Amino acid sequence: MCCECDCECRPLGFLLGLPFALLCLLISIVGVVVWIVGLLLSCICPCCLCVTVLVEVALELIKAPIHVMEWFTSQIPC
């Protein structure tokens, strides 16, 4: 039978994903540093395409903890 509550609250997935989210938080701090350096480089030389790609990758690194927690909570059933 199916679970009566179709809730989005999954505390077990949150607890299992917490150590990985903390690791991703450290990676996102590195992403912030890369993002700031990339923005400064793009101001100096706006024609450089690789700096734009670097800034996009840094933004994804910053969003990593959110993606990890969403993935872990979606894997654990109610």
Q: What pLDDT, in 10s, does the model give residues 32-44?
A: 888 888 888 888 8
Q: How confident is the model at residue 59 (pLDDT cuts 50, 70, 90)?
A: confident
pTM given for the model: 0.62
Asked if residue 6 has pLDDT above 60, the reply is: no
Between CA 46 and CA 9 the distance in angstroms is: 44
Give pLDDT, residue 2. 45
Burial of 10 (0-12, 13-18, 19+ CB in 10 A): middle
Between CA 55 and CA 57 the distance in angstroms is: 5
Query: Shortest CA distance to 28 belongs to which of 61, 50, 6, 55?
Result: 61
Domain boundaries, the chain: 28-75
% the chain with pLDDT above 90: 0
